[in-house]
Chains A and B, each alone.
Chain A
Amino acid sequence: QQQVKQSPQSLIVQKGGISIINCAYENTAFDYFPWYQQFPGKGPALLIAIRPDVSEKKEGRFTISFNKSAKQFSLHIMDSQPGDSATYFCAASRGYQKVTFGTGTKLQVIP
């Protein structure tokens, strides 16, 4: 059972544009929602995370929007840059231990 659904599978954005990646979860016990960034040949790196008691969290150009009633959350990358080209994974867990990952979105930012 896939508990975290992620879309789109791939995304091409012009430099300076907004990249939006969406995720939906099923398990209402989840209380931690991180996003990871992964470059080829590297492990995932924690980008930003949110808990369900807030609807939005912003760190620099990265914003998570969270809709608890819809069981959905999304990542917005403002002013996207070529260096943002990577694969992004949403994830969810109860606590921090057994993290369930989405299937990933490959982002390409073109100049």
Chain B
Amino acid sequence: GAGVSQSPSNKVTEKGKDVELRCDPISGHTALYWYRQRLGQGLEFLIYFQGNSAPDKSGLPSDRFSAERTGESVSTLTIQRTQQEDSAVYLCASSLNRNQPQHFGDGTRLSIL
């Protein structure tokens, strides 16, 4: 596709379960970003990938959160032992390189019961 693709679009899970969220960036984009958007709030930066490495993980809120990127393409954000406060929309963005504007996907809406 032409844009950033995220899956699933919605995820409902029970507290304590692990979840994996997937991001397919725009083809050829070397930079990839994850953000969290809580209801009615702005976006919080989580992590930035340049290629397959993550030079900035400063936004990950706890060690329950991790992310990886393989093949300079797909990225997965994993949340272990989910808590209710993890409920949010998780947005992925990509850019051609670190010096270009970011293009966002439509996000994964995560609900923790």
Please give the residue numbers on chain A whose beta carbons come within 8 Å of chain B beta carbons, in ascending order. 4, 6, 34, 36, 41-46, 49, 89, 95-104
Residue of chain A at shortest CB distance from B50: A97
Instruction: Name the B residues within 8 Å of A99 (CB-CB).
Output: 33, 43, 45, 102
Complex-state Cα separation, A96 to B31, whole angstroms: 10
A42 near B48 (CB under 8 angstroms)?
no
Complex-state Cα separation, A25 to B79, whole angstroms: 31
Residue of chain B at shortest CB distance from A103: B42
**Known: A96-B99, A96-B100, A96-B101. Is A43-B4 also a contact (CB below 8 A)?**
yes
Complex-state Cα separation, A78 to B74, whole angstroms: 40
Complex-state Cα separation, A46 to B106, whole angstroms: 13
Instruction: Name the A residues within 8 Å of B33 (CB-CB).
Output: 97, 99
Instruction: Name the B residues within 8 Å of A98 (CB-CB).
Output: 45, 48, 56, 58-59
